[in-house]
Chains A and B, each alone.
Chain A
Amino acid sequence: MAELIVILVFISLYGLSFMGEKTGERYFVSAFIIHLGYIAFRAWFLGRPPVTERHDILLAIAACVAGGLFVFQRRIPVPSLLKVLPIFTVILCFFGLFQERMDTIEPNMNTPWFLVYVTLFIGGYGLLTLGTAAGVLFLLEREGTYEAVQHRMILLGWLLFSFSLVAGSVWFYRVHGVYWLWTAKELWMTVTWFFFSFYLHARLMKSLRGRPAALIGVLGFVVMLFSYLGVTPILGSPWTQF
């Protein structure tokens, strides 16, 4: 119950950061500090990095996105960042809040390859979400720098996501003797990978550069959220803990 209250507090503070420039920033920073504190608490409580279940993974991705405020301050003004970052952070925290918590770990997940896989996945999804946020800003304010940030974030995020698929395949192969399964979940992870590859190549075309490519990049967020959270309940793919 106490944990639920803490999560609701930082979600509310992220939500309140829309209020004015200085006040908003203060709310956002406070939310971020409590958010990090909660992740540290989970690590202490579990006695290992909190990366083995969706609740923790989504909150970690949200923390990566919130951290974007400090990384991009030099290139994007804080008021603009505060227009988009809280939205994505709240969405991710909100989904994380409703994920079932197990607090246990399967023996086959207690391996370095699994840790590498999930860590890269969190980083990849975090950067892809930051790319989406920059893309939304570009579509709203038409500032060229934002489009460049979107491209760079999506490129780096896509690379980390790809590396996570490599590490995940190694881990899965060591557990089950196969690196690929024909399941709806795996197929949608591939769709996500292709979608961002599509964006990166579309941006190279003169006719698509600018708003059309930025829009494709933004839509990628919907694809990645669906492939992570929507496939199991909507398509009926086997449930996974992480």
Chain B
Amino acid sequence: MIKFFTSLTTSLWVMGLSMIVYALGSFLIPRHLDIFSEINDMPLFSWLSANRGEMGVSYWIPSLMVLMAFLAVNILVCGYDSLVRGLRGGGYIETLAPQFLHLGVVLVLFGHLVSASAGYKEDVSVGFDGPQVFRGHRLELISLDFLKVSGEDSTRWRVGLVVDGQKAILEPARPLFFDRTGYFAKSASQKKGRALIGIVYDPGVAWEIAGAVLFVLGGAGLVLAQFRKAG
């Protein structure tokens, strides 16, 4: 069994099958938008449970999960095996860098799993008509500024928001992170004096970041090893 998981052939088969399933999904999503329209608006497991009757077109998602789980086990077992063999042979960077990369991928996959199983993302429209309470958080719009900059087609805008007493200025791509929740400036209407705020609680993000950091470190190590090899 251990031999099966340390085999490179197993990794290649899992990667090959994963590519086929991802490609299959890419063909199915645009053809069944009626079913997949809400998949990005809620945690994956909630969506799967709400669309239990649509397994005829969403079967590839559970298949993908099984393949990714298989890949994670393959990576961990293979990584441990090469670590033990590699460290005996010396060359720390050459041995550790790929393992950092692999562990990073496993953490990213785990982060996806955590994100799929918990959390929420919803949009809330806030105006100057008083504070709103959303999932126990008190939101109050205090300012809405619009600015036209030459050379830019769209008007720049920013939102002054108070969240549970915390004052912040939100802009597109400049969110507020407070109390493990993200507040994102989605859109704003000057005419209506309202802003659409995306509120996201995603417990998988920390794992994703940890995985990405490990991956980048491993990648940098691999580049270093390549340059050393090239002399």
Contact = CB atoms under 8 A, between A and B. Distances in A.
B19 A191 contact: yes
A231 interface: yes
A197 B22 CA distance: 15
A191 B219 contact: no
B29 A184 contact: yes
A175 B223 contact: no
Contacts of A111: 173-174
Nearest to B27: A235
Contacts of B29: 182-184, 187, 237
B118 to A, nearest CB: 14
B95 to A, nearest CB: 14
Given A155-B226, A176-B198, A201 B15 contact: yes
B40 A182 contact: yes
Interface stretch (A9-17, A89-97, A134-142, A161-169): A161-169
A181 interface: yes
Contacts of B202: 177-178
A180 B39 contact: no
Interface in A221-242: 231, 235-237
A159 interface: yes
A159 B220 CA distance: 9
Contact of B173 (A47, A113, A179, A194): A113
Contacts of B132: none
B45 interface: no
Interface majority SS (helix, strand, loop, mixed), chain A:
helix
Interface residues of A, number: 51
Nearest to B60: A187
Contacts of B194: none
A78 interface: no
B212 to A, nearest CB: 5
Interface string A41-73: 000001100000000000000000000000000
A169 B121 CA distance: 17
Contacts of B230: 152
B36 interface: yes
Contacts of A231: 26
A162 B205 contact: no
A1 interface: no
A107 interface: yes
Nearest to A204: B8
B223 A159 contact: yes
Contacts of B226: 152, 155-156
Interface in B176-219: 182, 184, 186, 198-200, 202, 205, 208, 212, 215-216, 219
Given A104-B153, A159-B223, A187-B25, 15 more contacts: A107-B156, A107-B157, A110-B173, A111-B174, A162-B215, A170-B212, A175-B172, A176-B198, A179-B208, A181-B40, A184-B30, A187-B26, A188-B23, A194-B18, A235-B27
18 contacts: A108-B173, A111-B173, A111-B174, A156-B226, A162-B219, A170-B212, A176-B198, A177-B121, A177-B175, A177-B184, A182-B44, A184-B25, A188-B26, A191-B22, A191-B26, A235-B30, A236-B30, A236-B31
CB-based closest 7 A-B pairs: A177-B200, A184-B26, A104-B153, A236-B30, A108-B172, A187-B26, A159-B219
